[in-house]
């Protein structure tokens, strides 16, 4: 075996050359990997005795794509295009031997090889769209030539990783090797190709499938319509479609030029910068600086949940979904039956949509046992309290848990605002107490805020992180403060939205501005969905707030057919003159002079204070890093991924501009707009939050 560079070796098995890449963690196509491939192929091509060349990888995966961290930097070494051309033009067959994932540039390299062999567990995909990109190394031109236009459209716009067996059926791979015999299998496959004198298949020259789609515009019109909803606001899906269109309507070389041009537009734009940032932020959030990798992980193989209401039910489903048994406690048999009934119904609805089988429904519901006796939790590894948001009640429950839970069990609260330290102080073991703030619907929403109390042990935090990963959540560790990170920032937006409608905007104008920014819905549509009467009491209503007025008028939101909006029987919303009248009267009564409010002002008023609050959170150490705040907002509140989250967006706008805006607003309207001292510091000292 000869070393080509730090990440590449070459060796021979008989007349077969084997180039092995070893660039952990994922063999991304960094400059050394490209260089290694280029030199390795050169050597093998020049070796008069070599009859075929295999490209294989060490470690967990085949090449998982271009090195994302290299984007935006001066290119070094041979370009990917040069490497690919060199592979495709080889005078002897080149075979990609795939395990793990062949993704993005990795699959694009494999598609320039003449053959591909994969182990059954391998997956192939072009996930660039998730980074706001398109496959920029010929992928959009080669893929449809192999799998056809429809499948190619689906793959490039979803970024889906396709299992090897399906790849074989689609023609993306030519052979499946034994799971633990890729090297041997690929050598045998190479020998077979040589002995059968099989041709050097160049995908770039295979035109049948793209030509078959030429002139059929409906494919693209229908496809665009089918993804319109999930692609709203994103540039990359449309650009990917245009590239596939280019493959259909142009020669390969022309198509490559179009792909290149569109790729460059995306890679230099802010959407992709935001999405690439989010990719790394999502991995960074799992790293807790003071928690060493060897921190003890406690077991979490039996779960207790207290309260079978909205949250308790959803939380339980997360565990049952991955085969972990749950015991739910309710205060009465009636509530328990109701809660368990809702869980079953949710599962049945999912099965009716074909997402799980009816067998799964039985398996999962069987894993969730109900009880009205809290002592039944005495053997649980992790107990999550999800009763009403009432401090006295939660305190009582934690006192009881202290008496009944086994030693070392994790005691968690799902409170959305109460002081986790105060709750922990009810027990003799505050080091075992933590906040696990799930979001509603808890079985669907990906975010979990892990609220680390003053005394919570590292082991409990580390276990909570591991548990979150095992149930498919994105977890962010946050500190104890009112609203933690997510809701604390949300409160800023809500306050300004409420003020804006009294100053002159209508709820639908505020909602439209935020919807157009990229949120799935605005604050008033959201209130209607949740119910305006959450926390409202008819007997205590004074009519002092607009919410009181709306609730008193029976406008409780979607459930009563009207709230801030009026709804038809299909729950489509429309603006309502009655609400307009109520709001105008309310402004007059409180002597608030109404005026025209622009969309731009709505966005500034709603979004800038959120960014300022983010700085306060960082200053107080309630989030570990700015990117964690962004991850909370992307995963928990629908901040559009292509805007990167409030802190990233703030940087795009310019923190200096946001500071200036706050100072001016503070002078005119007071302390709601007082800038965070940390924002001032960051601006004055030019601190890079993401460095």
309 binds, among ligand NAI, ligand 3HC, none (CB under 5 to 8 A by kind): ligand NAI
Is residue 136 a contact point for ligand 3HC (CB under 6 A)?
yes
The Cα 493–Cα 511 span in angstroms is 12
The percent of the chain in helix, strand and coil, each rounded to the nearest 5, is: 55, 15, 35
**Is residue 359 part of the contact set for ligand NAI (CB under 6 A)?**
no
* Binding flag, residue 247, ligand 3HC (CB under 6 A): no
Active site residue 108: yes
Partner whose footprint covers residue 105, from ligand NAI, ligand 3HC, none (CB < 5 to 8 Å by kind): ligand 3HC
Should residue 26 be labelled a site residue for ligand 3HC when binding is judged by CB under 6 A?
Answer: yes
Instruction: Pick out residues in 494-533 that bind ligand 3HC (CB under 6 A).
Output: none
Q: Which residue has the tokens 């990609």?
A: 96
Residue number, 311 or 546, with CB nearest to ligand NAI: 311
Out of 10, 44, 113, 131, which residue is the one contacting ligand 3HC (CB under 6 A)?
131
Q: Which stretch binds ligand NAI (CB under 6 A): 50-58, 119-127, 412-420, 598-606?
A: 412-420
State how far the Cα of 328 lies from the Cα of 204, in Å rounded to an integer. 58
CB of 335 to ligand NAI, least distance (A): 4
Residue 16 pairs with which residues in a beta bridge? 13, 52
- Taking CA 612 as the corner, what is the angle to CA 609 and CA 618, rounded to the nearest 5 degrees? 145
> Catalytic: 580?
no
Q: Are 408 and 298 in contact (CB under 8 A)?
A: yes
Distances (CA, A) of 454 to 88, 286, 414, 494, 615: 60, 20, 17, 29, 21
Q: Considering the complex, what minimum distance in angstroms separates the CB of residue 306 from ligand NAI? A: 5
Q: Which stretch binds ligand 3HC (CB under 6 A): 22-30, 224-232, 443-451, 566-574?
A: 22-30
- Residue with the shortest CB distance to ligand NAI: 309
Is the Cβ–Cβ distance between 637 and 610 less than 8 Å? no
CA dihedral 268, 270, 276, 280 (to 10 degrees): 130
Q: How many CB atoms lie within 10 A of CB 671?
A: 6
Return the closest-CA partner of residue 88 out of 57, 55, 66, 117: 55
**Stretch near ligand NAI under the rule CB under 6 A, chosen from 52-60, 414-422, 512-520, 610-618:** 414-422
Beta-ladder partners of 78: none
Q: 131 is in the binding site of which of ligand 3HC, ligand NAI, none (Cβ under 5 to 8 A by kind)? A: ligand 3HC
Burial environment of residue 629 by CB neighbours within 10 A (0 to 12, 13 to 18, 19 or more): buried
Q: Which of 35, 51, 88, 108 is catalytic?
A: 108
Residue closer to ligand 3HC by CB (options 32, 127) is 127
Residue with smaller CB distance to ligand 3HC, 79 or 335? 79
> Is residue 138 close enough to count as binding ligand 3HC by CB under 6 A?
no
Q: Which of residues 439-468 bind ligand NAI (CB under 6 A)?
A: 439-440
Q: Which of 329, 450, 475, 682 binds ligand NAI (CB under 6 A)?
A: 329
Report the residue from 51, 330, 509, 613 that binds ligand NAI according to the rule CB under 6 A.
330
- What DSSP letter does each residue of 409-475 carry, written as one string? -EEEE--SSS-HHHHHTTSS-GGGEEEEEE-SSTTT--EEEEEE-SS--HHHHHHHHHHHHHTT-EE
- What lies within 8 Å, CB to CB, of 190 at 6+ separation is 16, 51, 52, 53, 54, 93, 95
Among 147, 173, 267, 311, binds ligand NAI (CB under 6 A): 311
Minimal distance, residue 567 CB to ligand NAI, in Å: 21
Binders of ligand NAI: how many residues, by CB under 6 A? 23
- How many CA within 13 A on the CB side of residue 443? 19
Residues 35-64 that bind ligand 3HC (CB under 6 A): 61, 64
Name the nearest CA neighbour of 314 among 345, 356, 359, 352.
Answer: 345
Distance CA 79, CA 137 (A): 10
Q: Does 528 bind ligand NAI (CB under 6 A)?
A: no
For residue 437, how far is the Cα from the chain centroid?
Answer: 18
What residue ranges bind ligand NAI (CB under 6 A)? Answer: 306-312, 329-331, 335, 386-389, 393, 397, 414-416, 438-440
What residue ranges bind ligand 3HC (CB under 6 A)? Answer: 25-26, 28, 61, 64-69, 101, 103-105, 108, 127-128, 131, 133, 135-137, 139, 280, 283
Catalytic residue numbers? 108, 128
């Amino acid at each position: 075996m000869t070393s080509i560079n730090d990440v590449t070796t070459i060796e021979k098995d008989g007349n077969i050359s084997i180039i092995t890449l070893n660039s952990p963690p994922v063999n991304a196509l960094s400059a050394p990997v490209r260089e290694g491939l280029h030199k390795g192929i050169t050597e093998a091509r020049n070796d008069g005795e070599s009859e075929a060349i295999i490209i294989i990888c060490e470690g967990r995966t085949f090449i998982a794509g271009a090195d994302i961290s290299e984007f935006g930097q001066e290119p070094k070494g041979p370009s990917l295009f040069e490497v690919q051309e060199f592979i495709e033009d080889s005078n002897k067959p080149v075979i990609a031997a795939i395990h793990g994932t062949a993704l993005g540039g990795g699959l694009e390299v494999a598609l320039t090889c003449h053959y591909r062999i994969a182990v059954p567990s391998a997956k192939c995909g072009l996930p660039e769209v998730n980074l706001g990109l398109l496959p920029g190394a010929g992928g959009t031109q080669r893929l449809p030539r192999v799998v056809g236009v429809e499948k190619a459209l689906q793959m490039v716009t979803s970024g889906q990783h396709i299992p090897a067996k399906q790849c074989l059926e689609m023609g993306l791979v030519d052979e499946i090797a034994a799971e633990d015999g890729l090297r041997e299998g690929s050598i045998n496959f190479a020998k077979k190709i040589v002995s059968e004198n099989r041709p050097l298949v160049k995908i770039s020259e295979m035109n049948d499938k793209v030509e078959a789609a030429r002139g059929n515009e409906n494919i693209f019109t229908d496809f665009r319509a089918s993804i319109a909803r999930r692609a709203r606001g994103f540039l990359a899906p449309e650009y990917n479609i245009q590239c596939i269109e280019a493959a259909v309507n142009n020669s390969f070389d022309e198509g490559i030029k179009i792909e290149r041009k569109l790729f460059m537009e995306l890679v230099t734009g802010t959407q992709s910068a935001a999405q690439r940032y989010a990719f790394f932020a999502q991995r960074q959030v799992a790293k807790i600086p003071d928690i060493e990798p060897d921190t003890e992980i406690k077991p979490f193989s039996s779960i207790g949940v207290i309260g079978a209401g909205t949250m308790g039910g959803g939380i339980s489903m997360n565990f049952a979904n991955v085969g972990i048994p749950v015991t739910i406690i309710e205060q009465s048999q009636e509530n328990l039956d109701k809660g368990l009934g809702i869980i079953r119904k949710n599962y049945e609805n999912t099965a009716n949509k074909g997402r799980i089988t009816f067998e799964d429904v039985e398996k999962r519901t069987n894993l969730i046992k109900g009880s009205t006796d809290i002592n039944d939790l005495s053997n649980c590894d992790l107990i999550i309290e999800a009763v009403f948001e009432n401090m006295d009640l939660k305190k009582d429950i934690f006192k009881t848990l202290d008496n009944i839970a086994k030693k070392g069990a994790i005691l968690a609260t799902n409170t959305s605002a109460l002081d986790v330290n105060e709750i922990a102080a009810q027990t003799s073991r505050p080091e075992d107490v933590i906040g696990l703030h799930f979001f509603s619907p808890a079985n669907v929403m990906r975010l979990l805020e892990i609220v680390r109390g003053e005394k919570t042990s590292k082991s409990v935090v580390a276990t909570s992180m591991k548990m979150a990963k095992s149930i498919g959540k994105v977890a962010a560790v946050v500190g104890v403060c009112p609203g933690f990170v997510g809701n604390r920032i949300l409160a800023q937006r809500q306050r300004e939205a409420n003020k804006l409608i009294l100053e002159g905007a209508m709820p639908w104008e505020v909602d439209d501005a935020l919807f157009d920014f990229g949120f799935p819905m605005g604050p008033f549509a959201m209130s209607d969905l949740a119910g305006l009467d959450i926390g409202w009491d008819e007997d205590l209503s004074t009519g002092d707030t607009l919410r009181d007025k709306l609730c008193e008028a029976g406008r409780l939101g979607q459930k009563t057919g009207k709230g801030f909006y009026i709804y038809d029987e299909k729950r489509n919303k429309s603006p309502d003159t009655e609400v307009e009248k109520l709001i105008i009267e309310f402004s007059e009564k409180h002597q608030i002079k109404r005026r025209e409010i622009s969309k731009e002002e709505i966005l500034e008023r709603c979004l800038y204070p959120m960014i300022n609050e983010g700085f306060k959170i960082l200053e107080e150490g309630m989030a570990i890093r700015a990117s964690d705040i962004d991850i909370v907002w992307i995963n928990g509140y629908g901040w559009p991924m292509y805007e990167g989250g409030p802190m990233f967006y703030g940087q795009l706008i310019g923190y200096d501009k946001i500071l200036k805006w706050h100072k001016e607003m503070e002078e005119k309207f007071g302390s709601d707009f007082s800038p965070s001292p940390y924002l001032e510091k960051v601006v004055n000292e030019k601190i890079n939050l993401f460095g």
